[in-house]
Each structure stands twice: as C-alpha cells, then as structure tokens.
C-alpha cells in the first residue's frame, strides 16, 4: 500500500518553514503546537527560508532540493517552494497518536 503524498505551497509572504510546520501537522491530523518535533530540531528554519527565498520580483528559483525528516514524515522542498510531505508507515510513535 502506497503512502499519500501531499504537496503544499506557501503564500507569497509566508515563510517556507511555517508552511512546512503546518503541512506536517495537517498530514498527521494534529495541531502544529502538538507536534513532538520542532522544525528547528530537524533543520535550520532561517537558512531554509533564505535558501528558497523568491527573487525580488516574487519569482521562485527553479533549482534546488532539500530533503529531511520531521515528526515521522519525509519532507522534500523544491526550488519552486513546493513542499512534499510523505508520512511514514507508523507516525503514532512520533505524535503519540494511536495507530
């Protein structure tokens, strides 16, 4: 059985790191404050925001890929600022949710 993959994109003024936190929480069905992992425990959110900051005219950079794990999910961030969240098979271990 394949895992669902959800793609998120931040609004123009939303930090990418904030989008990631909300995307992971949404994928796991929890409130962002209830996540056991904090994004800063997994990756430097300021560096991530700077790396994928759009050009001054708002155009995202088409290049780049960063992959990391957070709260039992695989996170892939592409140069166009799309965020792909793939939950692991057993996210209950990282969220305290019942399987």
Chain segment 15-67, per-residue pLDDT in tens: 999 999 999 999 999 999 999 899 999 999 999 998 888 777 767 666 789 99
SS3 of the chain: CCCCCEEECCCCCCCHHHHHHHHHHHHHCCCHHHCCCCHHHHCCHHHHHHHCCCCCCCCCCCCCEEEEEECCEEEEEECCCCEEEEECCCCHHHHCCCC
pLDDT at 80 over 80: yes
Specify the higher pLDDT residue, 5 or 53: 53
């Amino acid at each position: 059985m394949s895992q669902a993959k959800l793609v998120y994109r931040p609004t123009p003024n939303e930090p990418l790191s904030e989008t990631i936190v909300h995307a992971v929480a949404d994928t796991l069905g929890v409130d962002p404050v209830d996540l056991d992992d904090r994004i800063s425990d997994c990756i430097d959110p300021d560096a991530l925001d700077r790396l994928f900051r759009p050009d001054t005219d708002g155009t995202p950079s088409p290049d780049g890929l960063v992959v990391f794990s957070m709260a039992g999910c695989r996170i892939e961030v592409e140069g166009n600022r799309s965020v792909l969240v793939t939950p692991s098979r057993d996210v209950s271990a990282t969220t305290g949710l019942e399987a």
